[in-house]
Chain A
Amino acid sequence: MAGRRSLAPSSQVSFPRARTSLARTSLARTVLPPLAALLVLLIGWQLYVMLSAVEPRILPSPLRVVEQGWRQREIIADHALATLTVTLIGFGISLVVAWVLAIWIDFVPGLRTAVLPLLVASQTLPIIAIAPLMILWFGFGLLPKVLVIVLVTFFPIALGLIEGFSAAGPRAGALLRAMGASRWQQFRYVRLPAALPRFFTALRIGITYAVVGAIFAEYVGAVEGLGIYMSLQKNSFRTDLVLAAVAVTAALSVSLFLVTYLVERLVVPWNRAGAGRG
């Protein structure tokens, strides 16, 4: 945004190419440092375990985690798939709930002040207490897990949308009204597109919450999934396999997180152009 007034018309021609190489270097700059840091951490961990001869039951070395995890790869993959399915279904429903609620609030005056406190209150519910109750009420199937995911993720998304719809500001609304735009046209031409950058920020927060929510709901009680796998391995003191499942969970979260960036590039190309210049 800061760069929106700056311009050399002549730079326009070379702009797309410049943008691509910029994206590439900034990708390398974003991805390489954390990977290097992770590597250093793992090496330190490995060395510590080798030198202190701590019991694997207490703290397995990273190499052992990889080795044991690899032996169980098919079982872990099955559980990971179950978790991914639950996450996507729950998050999909959460998205629908968030959009419907946010649009409803946007169109009905006064609803925002009535509903927003309830939404905030919903976030203060301790999931650690609610999740077991969900299992108690709805069994070990899909429903309780989906409910937990919806409960933990719809709020940041709904809030991002509600605030995003107003992001273009009252003056943009006045412009549209002076053009003779209906409420629906104002929504379609200004409020909706203006909300998309914030929506994607909220989406990223939401998707990481969704994975954590799914794991947590499974941990409390499930037939399959990484959460119940971790719980079972912990109970048989297979710390290495717990950590292997943790690593898979992390990989899953990061992958989903990256997918949101890809979708954002397709849906909100203008935002990236602005960010690249700013």
Chain B
Amino acid sequence: MRLDDLRLAFPTPAGPLPVLDGVSATIGRGEFVSIIGPSGCGKSTLFNSMAGLLQPDTGRLLIDDIDRTSSTAHCGYMPQQDLLFPWRTIAQNAALGLEVQGVPRREARQRARDLLPEFGLGGFEDARPSELSGGMRLRVALARTVLQERDVLLLDEPLGALDALTRTEMQDWLQRVWSRHRRTVIMVTHDVREATYLSDRILVLGPRPTRIVKDVTVRLARPRTIDTLTDPEFLRVEALLLRELRGDGSAGPRASNSPATT
């Protein structure tokens, strides 16, 4: 997947507000890449541009050398909220992406049922989302994303809403799912430790208007465990990222009035 000089500005009464200022990156097949940046820098805007929900003013998005700029349905998209629908059972929620793609309902739901045990949701196929915990709902949302069988998974702060303990568990679990399915994962996060723990590479965004200011490769063996957290390489990357995010003074919280910064 290649991002080629993406630029985007939102129109405001005070004139265009530039958000993306030439974002370029190449992400290899099967890589786990995190995108991290100061609050309000335009992470979500970049994320939505990659999903095809926002059209960049200039620049291209290439997947396997095919231009996918502002076309949807090329990525598995997982937004911040789990967005499970109460009128669907767990299996039906997980199957939604397949049904949208035109897979016959019965087959889509069967495929969801086949995958759910691997996501620790065996026995909950016919439960309603309201009967599940936050961590379980998140796994349903990820199952829904994985089931769509896109090569690229876009995860927007997937663990942001969880409590610290569940979050650590889910990080391990996310790592396992990724190693088994080997999709390209692009995860937006604001958590430096989470990014370091999970990623092969971390792209650091600068303050708005944003571009990639640092491309950090994480040389840590997999699978990563609690011991990884004290590995010198982990500490080096963590410190590097924190310095980069706080570093040049302009990265602090800024007054923002743009819808793009949420």
Partner of A175, one of B79, B132, B133, B137: B79
Q: List which A194-243 residues lie within 8 A (CB) of chain B.
A: 194, 196
A194 to B87, CA, bound (A): 8
Are A179 and B96 in contact, with the CB atoms below 8 A? yes
Residues of B within 8 A of A9 (CB): 124, 131-133, 136
- B129: A residues at CB distance < 8 A: 4
Tell me the dominant secondary structure on chain B's binding face.
Answer: loop
A interface list, Cβ under 8 A from B:
3-5, 7, 9, 12, 15, 168, 171-172, 174-181, 185, 189-190, 193-194, 196, 268, 270-271, 273-274, 277
Q: Which residues of the other chain, A, contact B48 by a CB distance below 8 angstroms?
A: 174
Contact of B100 among A15, A171, A181 (CB under 8 A): A181
On whether A277 and B53 interact (CB within 8 A), knowing A168-B85, A174-B79, A193-B85, the answer reads no
Instruction: Name the prevailing secondary structure of the A interface residues.
Output: helix
A15: nearest residue on chain B (CB-CB)? Answer: B131
A sample of 12 cross-chain residue pairs with beta-carbon separation below 8 angstroms, ordered by A number, consists of: A4-B129, A4-B130, A7-B136, A12-B127, A177-B72, A178-B52, A178-B75, A179-B97, A180-B101, A189-B96, A193-B87, A274-B128
Closest to B101 in A: A180
Rounded to whole Å, the gap between the CB of B68 and the closest CB of chain A is 12
- For A172, list chain B residues within 8 Å (CB): 83, 85
List residues of chain B with CB under 8 Å of any chain A CB. Answer: 48, 51-53, 72-73, 75, 77, 79, 81, 83, 85-87, 96-97, 99-101, 124, 127-134, 136-137, 148, 154
Contact B101 A189 (CB under 8 A): no
A49 to B100, CA, bound (A): 68
Contact indicator A12/B72 (Cβ below 8 Å): no
Using A7-B131, A178-B51, A189-B96 as known contacts, say yes or no to A268 and B77 having CB atoms under 8 A apart. no
Taken together as a complex, chains A and B put the C-alpha atoms of A175 and B52 apart, in Å, by: 11
Is the CB–CB distance between A178 and B53 below 8 Å?
yes
